[in-house]
Amino acid sequence: MRRVLVTGAGSGIGRAIARSFADAGDAVTVAGRRAGPLHETDGGRGMTVAPADVTDEAAVDALFARPFDVVVANAGAGRVAPLTDLALSEWNATLAVNLTGTFLTFRAALRGMGPGGRLIAMASTASLKGGPGIAAYVAAKHGVLGLVRATATEVARRGITCNAVCPGFVDTDMGEAAIAGVMQRLGIDRAAATARVTGANPMRRLIDVDEVVAATVFLASPGASMVNGHALAVSGGEI
């Protein structure tokens, strides 16, 4: 039985990933700032609930009292703001959760991780291209991919891999917030806003969480043992 840690597991993509590993028989620990949503993710599956803020060094280190075989650094957040309106506090907060959180999680994970270990970052198409109004998020997610690529070269000889999953717009609270933001900013209805948000995706639809789960499960599988430092886009061909 593998030991799996998923951060940001109280909702959306993280919740679905945690449930998928647990349903496959792995011993799953779920982390996030709020305990309530983490218990909901568990839903009686026997997961270990470990509330932690991934920007807090001591809290992250405490998650790794025992080593994990698979670590999914999924916690993340982003808000739309033009660069000229971007407060320093917002810039710092965005880098803290997406980039520094992934750094702290991977660094702690590697202290005890053995051969066959898997580090997986939930990056984004924003790791691969820019977009208007999301400079801090794009910078943070580009940083996550840089961290993944560098880490992959450091851990390769230990039989560990480090990879990134790069989804486009996914049907979660975060995807919903993006649509709501476009509705408000442009004064358009939901259908028009959804069309704009999904416009860059050749499949013209939001990505289902299960499609992101499948990519993550693959990267954690024995069959992916030679996939290292890779950015796996789940974007319908957007990039």
Q: Which residues bind ligand NAP (CB under 6 A)?
A: 7-8, 10-14, 32-34, 37, 53-55, 74-77, 97, 101, 122, 124, 167, 169-170, 172-175
Give the C-alpha separation, 226 to 59, whole Å.
32
21, 64, 106, 137: the active-site residue: 137
Q: Is 137 a catalytic residue?
A: yes
Render the burial of 95-131: b for 16+ CB within 10 Å, e for the rest.
bbbbbbbbbbbbebbbeebeeebbbbbbbbbbbbeee
Q: Whose Cβ is closer to ligand NAP: residue 156's or residue 217's?
A: 217
Q: Tokens 């506090």 map to which residue?
A: 89
Give the C-alpha separation, 29 to 47, whole Å.
6
Q: Tokens 């789940």 map to which residue?
A: 234
H-run or E-run covering 155: helix 135-155
Smallest distance from the beta carbon of 71 to ligand NAP, in angstroms?
Answer: 14
Give the C-alpha separation, 17 to 213, whole Å.
5
The helix/strand/coil state of 229 is coil
Smallest distance from the beta carbon of 228 to ligand NAP, in angstroms?
Answer: 21
Smallest distance from the beta carbon of 152 to ligand NAP, in angstroms?
Answer: 19
Q: Whose Cβ is closer to ligand NAP: residue 76's or residue 143's?
A: 76
Q: Whose Cβ is closer to ligand NAP: residue 159's or residue 210's?
A: 210
The helix/strand/coil state of 39 is helix
Quickly list DSSP for 84-128: GG--HHHHHHHHIIIIIHHHHHHHHHHHH--TT-EEEEE--GGGT
Smallest distance from the beta carbon of 27 to ligand NAP, in angstroms?
Answer: 20
Q: Whose Cβ is closer to ligand NAP: residue 75's or residue 160's?
A: 75
Which whole-number Å values give the CA distances from 138 to 53, 56, 141, in the listed order?
Answer: 21, 22, 5
Considering just the CA atoms, what is the radius of gyration of the chain in Å?
17
Q: Whose Cβ is closer to ligand NAP: residue 56's or residue 156's?
A: 56
Smallest distance from the beta carbon of 188 to ligand NAP, in angstroms?
Answer: 19
Q: Report, as residue numbers or ranges, the catalytic residues.
A: 137
